[in-house]
Structure 1
Amino acid sequence: MQMILPFPDIGPDIFSIDIGGFTLALRWYAMAYIVGILLAWRLAVTTLRRGPLWPRDHAPMPAGDVDDLITWVILGVIIGGRLGFVLFYQPAYYLANPAEIAMVWQGGMSFHGGMLGVALAGAGFAARRGIPLLSLFDLMALCTPPGLLLGRIANFINAELWGRPSDLPWAVVFPGARAQDCPGVEGLCARHPSQLYEAGLEGLLLGMVLLILVYRRGWLKRPGQIMGMFVLGYGTARFIVEFFREADAQFIYSGNPMGHVVQLAGTGLSMGQLLSLPMIALGIGLIVFARIRPSARR
């Protein structure tokens, strides 16, 4: 008999209040964003106050500028994440329904698009304030994993972005007709909790690696190294998890049950893997570039 885990009895709302026919709710996903931003702010301020960690023992910007940077980053995440989802995952639908592009409350965000949005926001902020770009990117990369960890846990609580069917002991029975639509599976369909795989790899493990490299190995001394390790680490983690994560519904059809966007001799790549390959290459390139540049340790 297959061992499966029931989905925990946790709703998407932390609490809700009815006020005159209007329901005000605080959702776990929103709380993940709020706490993730607060943790990023605290880590950024702490790191900027440690001058010896940086090139020439001097932080690239005052700690007080982090408040303004957070505003730019939030805009980059929202705009880039939404446009990335529109362009990478459902371009035909949104081309036919352009008015829905701005309806972010309906769901649909892309991490890869959000990362591009944050990179552009960071570049604009650096140019406006005269901040070394690679050092700013290093700081932003260091502060991102806590938000990824909390966001993926929120995905699990929301019972979304679940994995492929599995008979492993820790497979989870997610609620909902779509989660239970598993061709060839009789009875309850258990799936990989791929959200938790991502939380562990992209958030916890990658975050610990970056902290060790910054606070124990001095990697901020060579601008671009930490950003490179983050991009490489995230791209690799996402590429691996995509083997266990259910593909988006629009990519699944008869003859392509795995939802590959690139098919190669009976196997293929998902959209997440396809978008992760340039990240892996970019990450390696940034690390190599940072190491061949003249050192700025003093």
Structure 2
Amino acid sequence: MIPYFEVPPLSLGPLELHAFGALAALGIYVGARLAAKAARTIGPGDDLPIVEAAPWMVVGGVIGGHLVHVLGYHPEILATEGWTSLLKVWDGLSSMGGVLGGLITIVLFFRWKRWRLIPSLNALALGIAPGWGIARLGCFAAHDHKGTLTDFPLAVAFPGGARHDLGLYEAVLLFAIAGVLWLLARKPRPEGFLMGVLAIAYAVPRFFMDFLRATDLPFSDGRIAGLTPAQYTAFLLVGIGTWLLVRSRNLPAMTVERRAEQESAAAA
């Protein structure tokens, strides 16, 4: 069993740097760098779309994460603080809400730029999985996803009883998925294939892990017809992932060189 711990904030003059914020920022940075590198090496060959889209994905993810946190998990905040609570994007985030916000933002951004999104999806998957895993370590450090009471060996010995710590479980899951994705990427894959694998490999375990969320603590996460908002989002991710995998069956494996040849032929 893992001993309970608290990570003290680092004082930087008038500011305090908390472990959650530091690891979340590190995850975003690492994820963006890995995705950009993958774009140059496995496709589409140009990292400009990902480099330009990354900051907007973060903004959209934060907004989406906060809206789902308030409207989906804790509508009581809206009842007590009013609509201004929706503007306090720093005060509570839902990871699945962040996924939705980031997804909507990148689709709109690529449409605005008139870029095709599909060719960049494999590279994005290779950055998102490890970056998200690092950010989830921040959740583990903050213990902000407490689960049910348990005697599971990987439980955290919280004051009042050992509990599942879902931030840790998700970090382990995402690092495992990241390893699988990078192994798969050693061979050329059809465009969108790796993102399809990521969507399904994350969504299915996440659906079942959400049944481990605590319901006996103050400010416990809300449910809608017995399921969390994340579980409903998991259905969407499985649908997207399935569509990408089925679509990829009819596409050739793509390399940077092959894509360059296609673009040259189209321009001729």
Bin of the TM-score, shorter chain as denominator length: 0.7 to 0.9
Q: CA deviation at 1:8?
A: 2.4
**1:163 match: secondary structure:** strand
Q: State whether structure 2 residue 8 is matched by structure 1 residue 37.
A: no
Q: State whether structure 2 residue 225 is matched by structure 1 residue 262.
A: yes
Amino acid paired to 1:147: G
- Spell out, residue by residue over 1:5-32, the C-alpha distance to the aligned partner (whole angstroms, 9 max, x if none): 4312522x1x1145xxxx3111111111
Q: CA deviation at 1:238?
A: 0.8
Of residues 65-74 and 204-213 in structure 1, the stretch that sits farther from structure 2 once superposed is 65-74
Specify which of 190, 215, 237 is matched with residue 162 of structure 2. Answer: 190
Match of 2:213 in 1: 245
Equivalent pairs, count: 253
Match of 2:62 in 1: 78
Q: State whether structure 2 residue 84 is matched by structure 1 residue 99.
A: yes
Of Structure 1 and Structure 2, the greater helix share is in 2
Contact 1:260–1:270, Cα closer than 8 Å, also in 2? yes
Match of 2:187 in 1: 217
Match of 1:16 in 2: 11
Q: CA deviation at 1:200?
A: 0.5
Shift of the 5–113 alpha-carbon distance from structure 1 to 2, 3 Å rule, reads closer
* CA RMSD in angstroms, aligned pairs only: 2.5
Q: Which TM-score applies when normalising by structure 2?
A: 0.83
Identical positions, percent: 28
Match of 1:184 in 2: none
Specify which of 216, 234, 237 is matched with residue 279 of structure 1. Answer: 237
Q: Which TM-score applies when normalising by structure 1?
A: 0.75
Q: CA deviation at 1:146?
A: 2.0
Equivalent-residue separation in structure 2 for 1:49 and 1:17 (angstroms)? 37
**2:120 match: secondary structure:** helix
Amino acid paired to 1:244: L
Shift of the 282–65 alpha-carbon distance from structure 1 to 2, 3 Å rule, reads closer
Specify which of 167, 177, 189 is matched with residue 151 of structure 2. Answer: 167
- Spell out, residue by residue over 1:149-203, the C-alpha distance to the aligned partner (whole angstroms, 9 max, x if none): 122211121121112101234432225xxxx3xxxxxxxx1112222111101x2
Contact 1:251–1:260, Cα closer than 8 Å, also in 2? no
Equivalent-residue separation in structure 2 for 1:9 and 1:83 (angstroms)? 28
Match of 2:137 in 1: 153
- Spell out, residue by residue over 1:229-281, the C-alpha distance to the aligned partner (whole angstroms, 9 max, x if none): 111111012113223332585668xxxxxx76435xxxxx4443333123223
Amino acid paired to 2:47: A
1:69-148 to 2 correspondences below 5 Å: 69-91=53-75, 93-94=77-78, 97-106=82-91, 108-148=92-132
Consecutive unaligned residues of structure 2, counting only runs of 5 or more, are: 259-268
Q: State whether structure 2 residue 16 is matched by structure 1 residue 6.
A: no
**2:17 match: secondary structure:** strand
Equivalent-residue separation in structure 1 for 2:47 and 2:233 (angstroms)? 33
Q: CA deviation at 1:148?
A: 1.7
Match of 2:264 in 1: none
Match of 1:256 in 2: none
Match of 1:255 in 2: none
Q: Higher Cα Rg: structure 1 or 2?
A: 1
Return the structure number with greater relative CO, CA threshold 8 A, min gap 6.
Answer: 2
Match of 2:249 in 1: 291
Consecutive unaligned residues of structure 1, counting only runs of 5 or more, are: 181-188, 253-258, 264-268
